[in-house]
Amino acid sequence: MDLTTLVKDDKMIIYLSGEIDHHTSREIRDGVDRLIITHRPKAFILDLSGVDFMDSSGLGLVLGRFRKIKELGGEMYIANAGDRTMKILKMAGVDKIIKSVECRITNQE
Amino acid sequence: MNRYNNQFKITFPAKSANEAFSRSLISAFSTQLDPTIEELCDIKTAVSEAVTNCIVHAYAKETDERKKTVSITAYIEYDNLLTVKISDRGCGIDDIEKALQPMYSGSGSDERSGMGFSIMGCFTDKLSVKSKPGKGTTVTLKKYIGKQHAAKK
């Protein structure tokens, strides 16, 4: 899984793509956490538009990052989750505690 | 009409790389039922959860690598009912009722969400769990799949 990152001022967007399961989530978590600790963003946006499979391991990943960002005094947002991904997030009530925003990674942002 | 149309059985090591493999496998097997994309995603996700449970929980204390296996048996009945049994020979579940509760995780670390069984239940038509401490666990998922079922609704 490749992590595409955009950092501007105190904002950071990470774009995830591929499948998030128990096998892949550890590597993603380590990569995302390294970036969070390096940049300490005030606003952290997790772009899920490229995720084509996610199970409960993905929930653990998202909730874990939410807690981490909170600890560091930032806010976390979810962007562009597909229908399937959103269905899983809603089952755990994640949509109620992490706000969804719309965003695109472009050079203009 | 033949009650059992088709089936397969497979046993593989309880390695996390096999989570994606098991999803591909059940997806390929289900294709003959002409499922919708939604149905296919449902069954893939449910099987992924069950297999992950075997890998994360069943063999946490097992040291003999050869004993760490996961078996999947899947069969099609009445042309549209898919049954998938996912079993391990691991530690078993002491309290099944507790394990089935949303947000309960038997693993205190590693950021498990505790939503595995809830997802399995939500994405299939029937979920049942049989387990004996020290002997292993079998999760049975049943799901009606395909156009014939959709037409009956």
Compute the average pLDDT of residues B82-101.
94
- Domain positions in chain B are 4-152
Question: In terms of CA atoms, which chain A residue is nearest residue B107?
Answer: A60
Give yes or no for residue B147 having a pLDDT over 70. no
Least-confidence region, from A87-101, B60-74, B138-152 = B138-152
Q: Sorting pLDDT into bands at 50, 70 and 90, what band is B121?
A: very high
What's residue A108's pLDDT?
Answer: 44
- Please tell me whether residue B61 adopts helix, strand or coil conformation: coil
Model confidence at A98: pLDDT above 60:
yes
> Whole-angstrom Cα distance, residue B86 to residue B71?
6
Q: Which burial class, exposed, middle or buried, applies to A13 when counting CB atoms under 10 A from its CB (0-12, 13-18, 19+)?
A: buried
- The yes-or-no verdict on residue A57 having pLDDT over 60 is yes
| pLDDT, average across residues B1-22 | 90
Residue B124 near residue B42, CB atoms below 8 Å: yes
Q: How far is CA A61 from CA A31, A41, A67, A109, B69, in A?
A: 12, 18, 10, 26, 26
By C-alpha distance, which of B130, B56, B62, B133 is closest to B94?
A: B133
Angular region, B150: left φ>0, alpha ψ -120 to 50, beta rest: alpha
Instruction: Tell me which of B53, B62, B89, B97 is the catalytic residue.
Output: B53
Residue B53 annotated in active site: yes
**What's the whole-number mean pLDDT along residues B115-130?**
96
> Rounded to 5 degrees, what are φ and ψ at B2?
-70, 130
Interchain contact B110–A (C-beta under 8 A): yes
**C-beta atoms of B19 and A56 within 8 A:** no
Q: Does the beta-carbon distance from A53 to B49 stay under 8 Å?
A: no
Out of B16, B111, B114, name the one closest to residue A23 (CB): B16
Strand intervals (E) in chain B: 4-13, 69-77, 81-88, 126-132, 136-144
Q: Which of A24, A26, A16 is nearest to A80 (CA)?
A: A16
Distance, in Å, from the CA atom of A40 to the CA atom of A53, rounded to the nearest integer, reads 28
Range scoring the smallest mean pLDDT among B6-20, B109-123, B137-151? B137-151
- A3-101 CATH: 3.30.750.24
Q: Secondary structure of B18-58 in the HEC alphabet?
A: HHHHHHHHHHHHHHHHCCCHHHHHHHHHHHHHHHHHHHHHH
- pLDDT tens profile A68-88: 999 999 999 999 999 999 999
**Could you state, in order of their start, the residue ranges of all structural domains in chain A?**
3-101
Residues 32-51 of B with CB under 8 A from A: 41, 44-45, 48-49
Q: Is B39 a catalytic residue?
A: no
pLDDT digits (tens, 9 = 90+) for B13-66: 999 999 999 999 999 999 999 999 999 999 999 999 999 999 999 999 999 999
Q: Under CATH, what is the fold of the domain B4-152?
A: Heat Shock Protein 90 (3.30.565)
What confidence score (pLDDT) does residue A3 get?
84
Q: Residue A59: which of B16, B55, B115 has the nearest Cβ?
A: B115
